[in-house]
Structure 1
Amino acid sequence: MTTIKGGAQALVLVLMAGAMVAGCARTTERITFNGVFYKQKSKAASRDNRERFVVTVPRVNRGYDGALAAGAYEGKRYCVQNFGTSEVEWYISPLAPRGTVQPNGNKLTFTGKCVLW
């Protein structure tokens, strides 16, 4: 059996502590909506026009209102990340009156366009 001595033991402890903190950071960085984490995704509607995008929010059964908020957030995030603007012109909107957008199975889909200056 091999034992770790002095500086090597300290290095192992620092690496273990770093790994533990990194693992915790992932869950604390998650943004929740109405206390629920949704794995929303966005993508360009087409290769030719990246300003237009599609947002999908799965697991609507966890909460319709939270899924709407997650969709609105993801649309703004897409525009900020790709164009530096948070202005969105929605075609199918998460900001519409409640019940306007109906789930397709257990998923909501929104479409919009980033408004450029």
Structure 2
Amino acid sequence: MSVDLKLLAVAVVSVGLVAGCSDKDSRPVFDGVAFRTKASVVDKKVSRALFEAEVYDVAASPLGAREAMRYAGTTYCIENYGTSKIDWEIDLDNPEVPLPRDGDNALLRGTCNP
């Protein structure tokens, strides 16, 4: 392999590593954990206001996962409705109420309330 091809290979691997790190590094941290989250509309035909938020690996910090859930929902509602007001299926302010789980992940529906 020529020196140019080796340099190109090293550059491609380096860019891939940096890109992988930057995604995790750009996530907000809740209770010391950078949770992966997702929030998306449940049914576009009914209303974009109703969404489902998901937080991955809840066991890493149940308290942090609760705040990551709130963050994912708030981001969704601000992007789609310009509001941070959300009606959640459960009371996220009450840590005694467990997050609905699907294996290691938490799933919760909310409605943006403009």
Q: Normalised by the shorter chain, which TM-score bucket? A: 0.7 to 0.9
- Quote the residue 2:54 is aligned against: 56
Q: How far does residue 22 in structure 1 lie from its aligned partner after superposition?
A: 6.1
Mapped contact 2:27–2:34 kept (Cα < 8 A): yes
Task: Give the structure-2-normalised TM-score.
Answer: 0.74
- Quote the residue 1:33 is aligned against: 30
- When residues 57 and 25 of structure 1 are mapped into structure 2, their CA distance, relative to the original with a 3 A threshold, is closer
* CA displacement 1:43-69 (0-9 Å, x = unmatched): 112112110111111211101000000
Separation of aligned partners in 2, 1:100 and 1:90: 12
Name structure 1 gaps, 5 residues minimum.
5-15
Instruction: Give SS of 1:92's match.
Output: coil
- Quote the residue 1:78 is aligned against: 76
Total equivalences in the alignment: 107
Moved more, 23-32 or 42-51: 23-32
Larger Rg computed on CA atoms = 1
Residue 46 of structure 1 aligns with an amino acid whose one-letter code is D
- Quote the residue 1:94 is aligned against: 92
Structure with higher strand content: 2
Mapped contact 2:27–2:36 kept (Cα < 8 A): no
Runs of 4+ with deviation above 4 angstroms: 19-25
- When residues 38 and 85 of structure 1 are mapped into structure 2, their CA distance, relative to the original with a 3 A threshold, is same
Paired-residue identity, %: 30
Name structure 2 gaps, 5 residues minimum.
5-10
Separation of aligned partners in 1, 2:62 and 2:19: 31
